[in-house]
Structures are given as structure tokens and as C-alpha cells.
Structure 1
Amino acid sequence: MKPNSQLQSGCVKAFSCVSLSIITLVSPISAQAQEQSPAKFACQAALNTPEQKPQQKQVQKLAQFADTSQERSQLIQEANNLYNQRNFQGAAKTLCQLLKKYPQDTFGNFQLGNVFARLNQPEAAISAYREAIRRNSKYALAYNAVGVVYASQSRWEDAIAEYKKALEINPDYGDALINYGQALWQTNQKDQARASLEKALNIFKTQKRNEKVYQVEQILQQLKTLDNPGIS
């Protein structure tokens, strides 16, 4: 079955809802793997981009911190502010500065993946997400995010595999259930697609997340229309 453009845009839209959370740091990765990482190459390019003066002042201020946790928190806050302002280049540079000093920061790698995805650098985004997963193998958010990047490329089977990993970790992960359902539909697995979306709908109703309930109801209605073109 050919990918449906309407549903594809739904998967991409879902990416903007990827949650941000601090995750426990775990096992390191070899320096050789880091050198070969598309995320590392993208960071080198970001760090070589001229900075704006206000950001330079912020970095100089951060360099004075003796408490590394305070420095890390300030860098994360600065990156999140830039991300929310849609200054993705600035956010990338700040996160790359963070990871240059704290390469094992799981959340930093995850958020860097979000930024690279926004910058239309899918390979660098996947690389950053994979690094977060290497730090924490139970990071369902990162598996879901990798799946969304694959979905944006119409790599449906690859996307399904990543969503499954996220749902193995957290079977009630609503956003992953939405994405999984849409990807299943794209591969003509319609019954499974509806089941995944209906499960997501029930979860969001229980959580009283009305905006998500509406989103899933719209998707289900869209699928019903696509499956029965005569229905208006």
C-alpha cells in the first residue's frame, strides 16, 4: 500500500509533541563510535557557526560556575528557551556545548535529536537519539522519536520496529500508540492500527487529556473515511 500523504503528515505532526524529561545516565560509549556519529559531525558544524553576542555572554557566565550541576542546569535551560523560541540553530549550539563537557548526559542527547529533527537533519537526529538510548536502554521517548523520523521518511517498517520497542517499555505510552497505529495503517494492517489508536484514545480519556482525545478521534474518523470513501 502506498503511503497516504495525510497520514504521513499526522506522524510528522506527532513529533512536535515528543515530551522532554530528565533520564538517568547509564553506560558510556566508545570514543571511536562517537567520532563516527552523524550527531558529532553535526555538532562540530554547529559549534563552528559564529555565535551571537548575547549567547557569548551566557557561555562566559556559565564558565564561572564551580558547581557542575548548576552549570548543566543553566545550559539545559538556555537550550530549552532557544528551542521554544524556534531558534533551533542556537539550541543546537548550546546542547553541543553541553555534550562536549558532559557527553554522558542522556537528556542532552535526546533533546539534541529533537533539535536536529527540527533542522531537517534526520541522520544526525537518529544518531543523537541512539546515543540517548545507549545511555539508557529503557528510554521509550527516544525509541518513539526515532520512529517518528523514520515515519517522516516513509520508512514504515523501520518506524513500526521503533514504536514496538517504546511500547515494550511502556505499553500505555499514548503518543507511541498513536504513531504505531498510523504506521500500521500505512502498511495495510488496518485492524491492528485501529486497536492501537483505540487503546490510545482510552488512555487519554482516563488521563483527561482532552486535546489528545480530540486528536485521536480525528485520526480514527480520517481512517474511517479513507477506508470507506463514500462516507462524508
Structure 2
Amino acid sequence: MKLKHQPKSTFVQSFSGMMLGAIAVMGISPLVLAVPAKLSLHSPEQSAQRQPQKLAQFSGTGTPERSQMLQQANALFNQGDLTGAEENLRKLIKKFPDDAFGHFQLGNVLFRQKKSEEAITSYQEAIRLQPKYALAYNAIGIVYASQSRWEEAIAEYKKALEINPNYGEGLTNFALALWQTNKKDEALSSLEKALNIFKEQNRGEKVNQVERILKEIKTAEDPSVS
């Protein structure tokens, strides 16, 4: 019986720490937010991790006004002014309604304010504008997981991984949700794949995080494992 409760305490905590790896992380500041899916997944996230108190920056093309508005939102977020960041991002998407990244970042800020349903709506709008937005699907999964809506979270992670099968954070979040639904073998397989991807990307901190989760799982299954 004890083992049944251990995943609920240990891995919910692990999951909460990995959120938003965006949109999501364990052992890294939860203020790290994700970058657009159309950019490469690993190098922008590595850049974001070097500045953990900031919203991820969009490095693609855009107007100077748009870039300035994103920078202002980043600055407000960095100062802990989530309300100000939200207001700034709402101004951005009012002026640029088809800006998927703006909607996505608004979703991140809303989620940080525990406005879960509004965050999901923003992520869904980002997906409507950019259907292959893997990070937005992952983000919706994180919102569901934060509410212990594990099956719904799994469905969203699957969509993200269909778009990008090598999305390390998505694989890790997927594994944690699978573990919560007692799909242990699938969870381990997903974690092992995530671990290999992070190793290939030379992302040592992520490697350490996943290795810790794997160790916790093995300890939960066999308390004699140290």
C-alpha cells in the first residue's frame, strides 16, 4: 500500500517542479517559459535556462514594435509583475491578433497566475494559429496535470509528441502522467528516451533531473535500491 502513495507525493512534486520547460522544469526556476515550436527546441531552451527569471524571447522576424512589446512583457515578468506582463501581452495580441507566440506567452503568464482555464484558451488559440505548436500542446497537458486530470494531460502530451517525437520535456511530462495512471513500463520507456535525447543535446542539468526521477521510480518499486 505504501508504494501506491509514494508516486502521488514524490512525482506530483517532481512534475510541479518541471512545469514550463517550460514550461517546465525540475530543479530550474519555474519562471522559465517555452519558446515557439517552429524554432529548434533545444538551443533556445538552453538560452532561456541561462536566464531563468525571464520569459523566453522570440528570436524570429517581426516588427520593432512587436519586439519592444515582448521585451516589456519580459521585463515585467522578470520583476514579478505578472499582472503587468499580462496586460502588456494582451495589448500585443490586440495589435497582432494572429501572433501565435503572443497567445502562447499570455497562456504562460495566465498559468503562473493560476488562471488555468484562461491559460488553456490562450494555448488553444496559439494552436489554432499555428497547428503544429508542440509546446502549446505540452503546456495544455501541464495545466491538466496540475489539476490531476491525468488522462487529459496524456492526450495533450501525445499530440505534442506526434509533432516532435524528440521533445525531451514533453517525453518527461508524458512519463510522469503515465506513472500517475499506473502505466509504469510506458513511463520508464518515455523517461529513458528523454534521457538519451538530453544526453545527445549535452543538456547536463536535464540529464541529472531525469536520472533523479528514474532513481525515485526504482526506489518506489524496490525500497532496497539506494
TM-score range, shorter chain: 0.7 to 0.9
CA shift, 1:85, in A, is 2.7
Whether 2:133 is the aligned partner of 1:139: answer yes
Deviations along 1:170-192, one digit per CA (max 9) or x if unpaired, are 00000000000111011000000
CA shift, 1:84, in A, is 2.6
Indicate conservation of the 8 Å contact 2:37/2:132, yes or no. no
Provide the alpha-carbon RMSD of the alignment. Answer: 1.7
Deviations along 1:36-93, one digit per CA (max 9) or x if unpaired, are xxxxxxxxxxxxxxxxxxxxxxxxxxxxxxxx81111110111122223322111101
Aligned partner of 1:16 in structure 2 is 20
Deviations along 1:147-172, one digit per CA (max 9) or x if unpaired, are 01111100000000000000000000
Structure 1 distance, partners of 2:96, 2:37, is 14
Q: What does 1:157-172 align with in structure 2 at a 5 Å threshold?
A: 157-172=151-166
Bigger CA radius of gyration: 1
Query: Quick one: structure 1 residues 22 and 196, their matched pair in 2 at CA, closer, same or farther if it must change by over 3 Å?
Result: closer
Structure 2 distance, partners of 1:74, 1:151, is 33
Aligned partner of 1:79 in structure 2 is 73
Worse-matched range after superposition: 102-111 or 80-89: 80-89
Equivalent position amino acid for 1:17 in 2: G
Equivalent position amino acid for 1:183 in 2: A
Whether 2:224 is the aligned partner of 1:220: answer no
TM-score, normalising length: structure 1:
0.77
Q: What does 1:54-73 align with in structure 2 at a 5 Å threshold?
A: 69-73=63-67
Identity fraction in percent: 56
Indicate conservation of the 8 Å contact 1:146/1:159, yes or no. yes
Query: Quick one: structure 1 residues 20 and 188, their matched pair in 2 at CA, closer, same or farther if it must change by over 3 Å?
Result: closer
Structure 2 distance, partners of 1:23, 1:83, is 21
Structure 2 distance, partners of 1:85, 1:17, is 20
TM-score, normalising length: structure 2:
0.79
CA shift, 1:23, in A, is 6.1
Whether 2:147 is the aligned partner of 1:153: answer yes
Counterpart pick for 2:115 among 112, 121, 126: 121
CA shift, 1:230, in A, is 3.8
Worse-matched range after superposition: 99-108 or 129-138: 99-108
Aligned partner of 1:38 in structure 2 is none
Equivalent position amino acid for 1:14 in 2: M
Runs of 5+ in structure 2 lacking a partner? Answer: 23-32, 39-61
Moved over 6 A (4+): none
Structure 2 distance, partners of 1:159, 1:121, is 17
Indicate conservation of the 8 Å contact 1:99/1:108, yes or no. yes
Corresponding residue pairs, total:
189
Equivalent position amino acid for 1:9 in 2: Q
Structure 2 distance, partners of 1:183, 1:144, is 12
